Amino acid sequence: MILAIVFLPLLASLVAGLGGRMIGATAAKIVTTGALFVACALSWPVFVSFLSGDASATVTPVLAWLRSGDLVVDWALRVDALTAVMLVVVTSVSALVHLYSWGYMAEDPSQPRFFAYLSLFTFAMLMLVTSDSLVQMFFGWEGVGLASYLLIGFWYEKPSAQAAAIKAFVVNRVGDFGFSLGIFGTFLVFGTVSIPAILAAAPGMAGSTIGFLGGRFDTMTLLCLLLFVGAMGKSAQLGLHTWLPDAMEGPTPVSALIHAATMVTAGVFMVCRLSPMFVTSETAMTVVTYVGAATALFAATVGTTQTDIKRVIAYSTCSQLGYMFFAAGVGAFGAAMFHLFTHAFFKALLFLGAGSVIHAMHHEQDMRFYGGLRKSIPLTFWAMMAGTLAITGVGVAGVFGFAGFYSKDAIIEASYAAGTVPGGVAFAVAVFAALLTSFYSWRLMFLTFFGKPRWAGSEHIQHAVHDAHGHGHGHHDQEAHPEDEHAGHEPHTHDAGADQVKHGTAGYHPHESPLPMLVPLIILSIGAVFAGIGFHHWFIEPEAGEIFWKGSLAFNEHLMHEMHGVPPWVKLSATVVMLIGLAIAWYAYLKDTSAPARFTATFRVLYDFLLHKWYWDELYHLLFVRPAFWFGRLFWKRGDQGTIDRFGPNGIAALVQGGSVAARRLQSGYLYTYALVMLLGLAAATTWAVVR
């Protein structure tokens, strides 16, 4: 069964990618989508068997892979509770994204290539989560990196898509370099790359030291931090996050797949898989906590200023990943995986819902040019409402809650229950980030579905607002086919609330998406509503969680007990800030729509700081991009052209050319010229002989 789950997407990708032109777009879509639904159908029984306690960890050999001295790597598929969770997340979301793409990509001429890339991406992620060794995990790790490059740059005629794909690839190479060093160091210390063997031996290495870069460091701290650098890159943590918002240049189904269930969760999965290593180093756990908290805060603040509907959700993803990491950092690995599980459903729902809105609005992505869409696309509205209720954590304890109410609140409570300084910082950041999450999520809903339509008529308002605020510095990532006349324009970035009207869009007639796009929204809505209440018992309840995880991660039963005993105000904090964020968004975008403009005018420096994403891109451009271009031009102009070409091929060619000119003048064809040369040669020879 596990062989079919993993390799069906690969076979489908090969059929669609290599034979797409022969079998046609429809057959390619049937093959890839069918393979993913079969893999999904096979994954859920595996997951249920672990929930019921009937299953135990198994390893299925595939082939002997590498033999080099002491390095022995067998390709094998490991299935335990942690793998089972990832199998249902990856295959379920991927299958629904495939189905959704039938409608969203219906007019694209390269559909076989697109579906082949989707299935290849899924295969690589399945290889990653079923890995039994670090080398096999690295294979899947690099596979999702390659597939993400292909998918983000799918519309390769667009320069912005090319740049975004390259950026994602390069930034992830930085993280992957750290990951590879961690693998090398782990093999050096433990003499094996087998994950079960490493985890079993990890406690015995606590307190030892290792030489690195001329110094001595705690062995487990060094190994864990190197491995964590890889997780930071894949899961877009602060410092290596800059690729994630630019990845919105890919088609919306790509965003849903990368940001909800696959690539960005790979780092969280890796930390949880290697949790027995991480718990041996208090320093490593502290670093994970602080990096996760900083990422949650950074992305939540930036999300409040974004106007592109997909970028708001992208920064939301980055923030939620921060939650997962600091949950792992305080030792609540079960809570981290629980949030990963629920997040997959409501974040995929929000992305695909955003795609439905974009489809209805003729590829327009700027929320300032939406408004009043709930009547035109009611099913999309209710689906995104379910996703918003889930991500903001709406619920009543002991009665009912949407998915995020159980998973995100569990992380907040676990951070407080940890009783450490990093845990206290994470708790404070988590509460504040929850307020911001509520604000930007409801801001998205109000700007998109409520208020007056801003996509038809009243053109003079658009001109007036543009004249008043046309000095912004941001850019609009317009998702469209390369030939779309609207692609790449740059409107102003001032957050003018709901006062803008799209210029020249009187012909807009928003319409509901086709059935292949709506069915995934309905299914994911069910997950956003019930994934929390349906599964929290096995993920985070002390006794049930200890049985469910069965050693597949370092489940801290004591912390889970403490989490349930935190003061009532801690339990209520997330709900209170959620209501505050909702109230602020309602006032600013429905009650008094001029409030955002007044706020940005008053706090212009803060607004620009957040609008420019804390100036991370500008900083990297100054520190890395400009020096790289300078060195490139130096080696190109002065090194290659000025030195190598001048004295190498070009110099030799010039010498040969000059010699040939001189020789040509001597070869005149006149007898007296040759006689003169002979006479001069004879005189020179005679002179030499006499002198000698």
Nearest CA to 417 among 571, 572, 562? 562
Cα R_g (the chain), whole angstroms: 30
Same domain, 636 and 601: no
Same domain, 362 and 440: yes
- Amino acid, res. 104: Y
* Coil, helix or strand at residue 455: coil
The last residue of a domain, from among 606, 636, 669: 606
Same domain, 685 and 564: no
Task: Establish if 263 belongs to a structural domain.
Answer: yes
Task: Establish if 181 belongs to a structural domain.
Answer: yes
Our count of domains for the chain comes to: 3
What region does 78 belong to: left with phi over 0, alpha with psi -120 to 50, or beta? Answer: beta
Return averaged pLDDT per consecutive 10 residues of the chain, 692 residues in all: 93 92 90 95 94 87 86 91 94 94 89 93 94 93 92 88 89 92 94 92 89 88 94 90 86 85 88 94 95 95 92 93 94 94 93 92 88 91 95 89 92 94 95 96 94 63 38 37 34 48 57 91 94 88 87 89 90 94 94 90 92 90 88 83 76 80 76 82 91 84
b/e per residue, 561-597, with b = 16+ CB within 10 A? ebbeebeeebbebbbebbeebbebbbebbeeebeebb
In angstroms, rounded to a whole number, what is the distance separating the alpha carbons of residues 631 and 313?
37
Q: What is the DSSP letter of 366?
A: B
Three state DSSP letters for 106-135? CCCCCHHHHHHHHHHHHHHHHHHHCECEHH
Same domain, 594 and 663: no
Q: What is the pLDDT of residue 644?
A: 78
In angstroms, rounded to a whole number, what is the distance separating the alpha carbons of residues 494 and 678?
88
Task: Establish if 171 belongs to a structural domain.
Answer: yes
Task: Establish if 52 belongs to a structural domain.
Answer: no
Same domain, 601 and 672: no
Same domain, 600 and 675: no
Cβ atoms < 10 Å from Cβ of 418:
25
Task: Establish if 480 belongs to a structural domain.
Answer: no
Task: Establish if 60 belongs to a structural domain.
Answer: no
Kind of pairing, strands 215-218 and 400-401? unpaired
Same domain, 680 and 585: no
Task: Establish if 30 belongs to a structural domain.
Answer: no
Q: What is the pLDDT of residue 669?
A: 77
Expressed as residue numbers, the domain containing 627 is: 612-647
Q: What is the pLDDT of residue 497?
A: 52
